[in-house]
Every structure is written in structure tokens, then in C-alpha cells.
Amino acid sequence: MTEEDRHAWERPTLDEVSDGVWRVPLPLPGDALRAVNAYLVRDSGSFLLVDCGWNRRESWERLEEALRQLGSGLHRVRWVFATHVHDDHYGLAGRVRQRSGAPVLLGRRERDSLIAFRDRPGEARQRTVTRLGQLAAGDVARRLEAAGSPERRPPADPDLYLEGGEALLLGERELEVVATPGHTRGHLCLHDRANQLLFAGDHVLPQITPSIGVELHLPGSPLADFLDSLERVIDLSCRLVLPAHGPVFSDLRGRVGELLEHHRLRLEECYQLVEAGAQNAREVADRLPWTRRRRRFQDLDPFNQMLAVFESELHLQLLAERGRLRRDLANSSIRYALP
């Protein structure tokens, strides 16, 4: 597959991926990922909107245009379902609700992060700086601060928090809410069992491995949660996976297997690096290859360096939880060694 083919899914389009289901790529600002897929599901004249894009004019206009192309408008949106609280999935939720009157649905375990984003906007940056410092990555924190970040607007509160296991009804369609913690602790997927569709959010992506644990309030073991969540969806009845980033694809079991294998291999790589003398997440990240191109850590931009350090830490943490490494906290630094 050429590089152009890999990015074809990002082009502005209205793509009917299944009967009554349309994929709408919405643009992202200043991100290595250039689009996020929103999905419009129509039944009995009403729409379910799955994820809604960044709170920016370009995303808003693209969403309105997609509904116009379908001979409708925002007044026909009955539900807004966000797979998780990140800006590219939740940013426009409040504005869509204001125009349509549609209730906004979000995972309950996203609540603490949402409140922090809304009421303490500086907390995310400070927690990131502190966490990178603990992982011997103060240099990454400095580069990240110098690079700045896109403008963010306070998120709206949802109308209803979901736990997983609920049924969402739209006309004749019934979609089951599936709890899939890992990418965030409150991440949710939607499973349309009758039509064999999985709205996967950032849980199962076709071209990249989802980042893990990039949030303000970390649960005990985000990587363990993610691996368990992959096992939870692998046997779902599914002919099409509808991801938030990348093209729609069909082989859920195969892709989940690839993600599980990726993390198994990465755990072994991290263990071997500690065995060879690496003592912390920064040193491990520096020696691992990154992305499908196997790029060097120093060639990544500051944001992706941060993701690499955090991912390395979570693999090291899981190795410690399994008894293969020893994890020590001393002088505000987290270090690893053989037990």
C-alpha cells in the first residue's frame, strides 16, 4: 500500500459504509492524524451521531454539509454518543446538543477527566510535566512546552453517563454499549449485533496502535485494562469495524490478534532493555523503534516522544505487576531493575 493510499480515508467525503451508516471524516488541527471519523447512523428518519470532532469551525461546517447531503440537518440528530472524552471525539458535543436537542452520552469513568478539562484547564499540562519528570524525561517536557498546543475549549457536560451493557435504541436498531477501558479508562464501543457492526472509537484501529493511558487520572494498570478489553471484543459478531482513525475494515479478530502480538513483543523488548541496563522509561523509549517505520526516538516530534515515554512506562509497569521486574520510586523518580 502506498503512502497516498494509507491516507485516502482522511479526504473529505460522505461514505456509506453499511446500509444507513455513513462515515464523515472531520479535520484535526495540528495533529499527526489529520482526521477523525464521525459516523451518522440513520433509522426511522432520525440519526445517531457517533463521535463529533474537534470544536472548530471546519469540523462543524463539514458535519452540517454531510447532513445536508443526506437531505437532513442537525434537528434530526437524536443521540450524540462519544466513545471517549478526547477533544477529537467529544469537542463538538455541546454545540450539537444546543442545535439539535439531542442528549449527549459518555462513559462514566471519563467524568474526572472531563471536570478537570473544564474547571482546571492548566492541570493537564502540569500533570504531564510532573509525570515526564518522574520518568526521567524532563527534556521531553521542555520540548513539549516550547511546541505549544492547539486551542482547546471547555467541554460540555454529558446528559447521561454510561457504564457499558446498556442498549441504545434508534428506530429498529439496537446498539449495545461495550466498556473498553485502555485508551482512556472510560472508553466505550457500540456493537450493532443485528447488522454485525462495531463502532470501535480508538480501541481497535486498522493502521496504528492506539496510545494507552494518555489522560489526567490514570487507573491502576491502563495497559492491562487495554489487553483485557481487546479480549472482550475479539469474539463479537462483526463483519465491519468502524474505527475513529483509518478506513473501515472487516477482520476484527485478525486485527485484535495483531495488537495483542504487538504488545507481547513490546513487553519482551522492554524486559530485554532493562536486562541490558536501562533503568527508566526514558532510557527504554530512547532504545526502542517507533511507528511502523521503526523511527528513532530522537526523530519523533515532542508530542509523539511523550507518547513513546508513556507507552514504555506502561509496559514496564505491567512487567513489574507480573513479577518480572522490580519498580522503585525514589526521589520522585521511577526506576526499574530485575527482581
Q: Are strands 77-81 and 46-50 parallel, antiparallel or unpaired?
A: parallel
- For 276, residues 6+ apart whose C-beta sits below 8 A from its C-beta are none
CA 214 to chain CA centroid, nearest Å: 9
Residue ranges, the chain, pLDDT below 50: none
User: pTM for the full model?
Assistant: 0.94
Q: Rounded to the nearest 5 degrees, what angle is found at the Cα of 40, between the Cα atoms of 233 and 53?
A: 85
Contact 164, 175 (CB under 8 A): no
Those residues whose C-beta lies under 8 Å from the C-beta of residue 296, and which sit 6 or more positions away, are 289, 290
pLDDT digits (tens, 9 = 90+) for 236-263: 999 999 999 999 999 999 999 999 999 9
pLDDT of residue 328: 95
**CATH, domain range 3-127+149-252:** 3.60.15.10
pLDDT value of position 4: 67
Q: Where are the domains of the chain?
A: 3-127+149-252
94-118 pLDDT, tens digit per residue, is 999 999 999 999 999 999 989 888 8
